[in-house]
Amino acid sequence: MEAVQAWLAEFHDSPQTLRNYRKEAERLLLWALLERGKPLSSLTREDCLLYEAFLNDPQPRERWCGTKAPRFSPRWRPFMGPLSPASRQMAMLIINSLLSYLVKAGYLAGNPLALARRRTRGHQPLQQVERFLEHDQWQALLAAVEALPRDSERDLQHYARTKYLVALLYLLGPRVSEVAEHTMGSFRRVRERWWWQVIGKGRKEARVPVNQDLLNALSEYRRFYGLPPLPAPDESTPLVMNLKGTAGIGDNMIYRIIKSLVIQAAARLEADDPHQAEKLRRASTHWFRHTSITHQADAGIDLRHLQRNARHARLDTTGLYLHAEEKEWHEAMERHRLKE
């Protein structure tokens, strides 16, 4: 199908993602044809629910499951067995992405998966991450950083620290306690790539990629204090220092720095958009973690990578940060008008 091939072509620069997405598309197309006797364009909400159940137990087993074999071998099968809950969740998210693309391409009139009722235990309130900064609010905040005074040595110290702290919170998405507790030695270079080695919630160890923007911010901050541009292995310098550069700062100081900044940023928005300004004034340090994850999702970062960056144990937690379908839903309602 040309439309599916066009969707897959979007991932040509990420071979692993392409393989995973092609696999899930093939599985769905084969199931639709062999089990439901219909093309992808005819799948209904009921079909989507049946397919989700099928992933839990692909039957008849002799048709669908087998040991690993070359793609064109008679022994090849789409599955090796039932999918785990996490794999089923990932499969349905990938399929939802495919169906949403096909709607945009005009191949489907609607996305049947978007209508599927999510089974829950008892009443569940609507969940959506809302404590994040919109892109316009984020730009106002960056402008507020650059507007900080730089007249005295203390002003320069405050500007350097704030600029670096904002980059750190946005590009890594850490919890504030993690910023306060870690040192520069938590940045590690492995095979010419930099990572942030973090001990996070529940004392779980993880690592997050450090991109070039953060490396630049880190180097600029370190040079300001006369340090080499990049950290040494196991360096004990605090991740964020006090103004004199003699000790680290705690959660409370980080909160105060950020709270002061968002109030200044909100003032920049007040005249043109008081609603956005009011939301920005409510922001706290933890909003930066939500903002980081949300903006990564908006940038199209692969969901598997997004889950690892956020260090979420469950993929459905990461899914709360995906707002693209909500945007499409709202835009679709613009076709429902008072006057023809």
- In a shared domain, residues 69 and 144: no
119 and 145 belong to one structural domain: no
d(CA 26, CA 35): 14
Q: Are residues 116 and 163 in the same domain?
A: no
Whether residues 176 and 43 share a domain: the answer is no
Q: What is the pLDDT of residue 125?
A: 43
Query: Any long-range contacts for 125-131 (C-beta under 8 Å, 24+ apart)?
Result: 127/320, 128/320, 128/323, 128/326, 129/290, 129/293, 129/294, 129/320, 129/321, 131/283, 131/286, 131/287, 131/290
* 270, 293: one domain: yes
Query: What residues are paired with 183 via a beta bridge?
Result: 238
CA 196, CA 46: separation in Å to the nearest integer?
44
Q: Give the residue carrying structure tokens 């956005």.
A: 276
Tell me how far apart the alpha carbons of residues 37 and 29 are, in angstroms, rounded to a whole number. Answer: 10
Note down the domain range covering 75: 2-124
Domain boundary among 93, 124, 155: 124
Looking at per-residue pLDDT, the higher value among 300 and 5 belongs to: 5
Choosing from 94, 124, 154, the residue where a domain stops is 124
| Same-domain check for residues 90 and 142 | no
Examine the domain organization and report whether 205 and 86 are in the same domain: no
174 and 286 both lie in a single domain: yes
Among 80, 98, 124, the domain boundary falls at 124
Q: Is residue 151 part of a domain?
A: yes
pLDDT score at 336: 57
Question: What pLDDT, on the 0 to 100 scale, is given for residue 123?
Answer: 41
Number of structural domains, the chain? 2
Q: Which residues pair with 208 in a beta bridge?
A: 196
What is the band of 200 on the pLDDT scale with cuts at 50, 70, 90? confident
Q: Cβ neighbours of residue 6 under 8 Å, at least 6 residues apart?
A: 105
| 242 within domain boundaries | yes
Identity (one letter) of the amino acid at 87? S
Instruction: State whether 42 and 162 are in the same domain.
Output: no
CA distance 211 to 177: 22
Could you report the per-residue pLDDT of 19-75, keeping only the tens digit for each? 889 999 999 999 999 999 999 989 988 888 899 889 988 999 999 999 988 888 999
Split at pLDDT 50, 70, 90, the class of 330 is low
Q: 113 and 142 in one domain?
A: no
Q: Can you give the CATH number for the domain in which 49 is found?
A: 1.10.150.130
Positive or negative, the CA dihedral 296, 137, 317, 329 is: negative
| DSSP conformational letter for 331 | H
Reported as a single tens digit per residue, the pLDDT across 69-99 is 888 899 999 999 998 877 888 898 899 989 9
In terms of Cα–Cα distance, which of 140, 145, 144 is closest to 220?
145
- Does 194 share its domain with 97? no
Residues 58, 37, single domain; the answer is: yes
